[in-house]
Structure 1
């Protein structure tokens, strides 16, 4: 009897006090220009061309002006991992298309 009560309490406690991590996603669509997209020390991000039949390039630039990442988008809805973006990095978008950038905080 005591063992059943003990196991029941342990099981209920494990279910009640378990927290599940929740990813916070932030997504915006950007047109041609240079953007500072983050206010946190580092984030992981993905990018996707949202306008069909356009060619648009995305360049990730570090604070020293060095190119960290380059991608020429020509297929709509193709998701590309940008990797880790630091707080001082900038993103340049060149072309007539729009690119949706999703940030995982």
Structure 2
């Protein structure tokens, strides 16, 4: 259980997410998620899949004993995807417009 808890903490830290934010996005109470992060409990498969999705990773990566460092460019993409998953459709539209504007500005 300790390995899983360590991987949860590490991944949330990489993404700049608090335990409360991970719990909220996964539809869990802070207390329940806190049990996973502290190693007191392990989630069922459905909950594990939800948590992995929120953390933009796979259940295998959360359960694996060896985790390699994520390159910074890839980590930035993963952080962005994790944040996008929490947005509503109208907010996603705004983000798309901003990203397209950034890309267009780079071409000039």
User: What is the TM-score of this pair, normalised by structure 1?
Assistant: 0.24
Please identify the structure whose Cα radius of gyration is greater: 1
Structure with greater helix percent: 2
Q: Which has the higher strand share?
A: 1
Higher relative contact order (CA 8 A, sep 6+): 1
